[in-house]
Amino acid sequence: MAYCTVSDVQAFFQNYQFGADEPVSSVKVNSLMEEWTARIDSVLRMRYVLPITEASDLSLLKQICSKYVAGDIDGIMNDGKSSYMQKPEARNRDLKDEANTLLEELRMGQISLITPRLPITKLTVGGKRHGCKGCL
């Protein structure tokens, strides 16, 4: 299940509907949502127990996912064919950078989720610590 909905993404595109006759359809939006959810999970999987179920965590992940998807849509619509991207509020935003910053802060532990973290284990070779700086 995706971390955001079409409605969440739609909020970034006031007065624009994702229709079959538009450059971006709701089918495309759903596809992007699933793709970004999988990418976000690949980062979270290194640090947290999945699936994420805490409401406050899901709220943060919704922000991240919807910004990634809206950023991709901005790129699709910025091909010169869409009048939507001529609006200043659409041209002057970098939603993917905002999402990248949040996800990187999660990855680095600068911000954290309520969801339980995975236990940290020391790598061993033959039952002994193998000698990397993190294990010494």
pLDDT in tens, 26-43: 999 999 999 999 999 999
Total-model pTM: 0.81
pLDDT of residue 75: 86
User: How do strand 128-129 and strand 124-125 relate by DSSP bridges?
Assistant: antiparallel
Work out whether the CA dihedral 42, 44, 47, 50 comes out positive or negative. negative
Straight-line distance from the first to the last Cα atom of the chain, in angstroms, rounded to the nearest whole number: 40
- Dump pLDDT digits (tens) for 68-93: 999 999 888 877 555 555 555 555 68
Half-sphere exposure of 101 (CA within 13 A, CB side): 6
Element (H, E) at 135: none
> Is the model more confident about 27 or about 125?
27
Q: Which token pair is 13?
A: 């595109």
**Phi-psi label, residue 15: left if phi above 0, alpha if psi -120 to 50, beta otherwise:** left
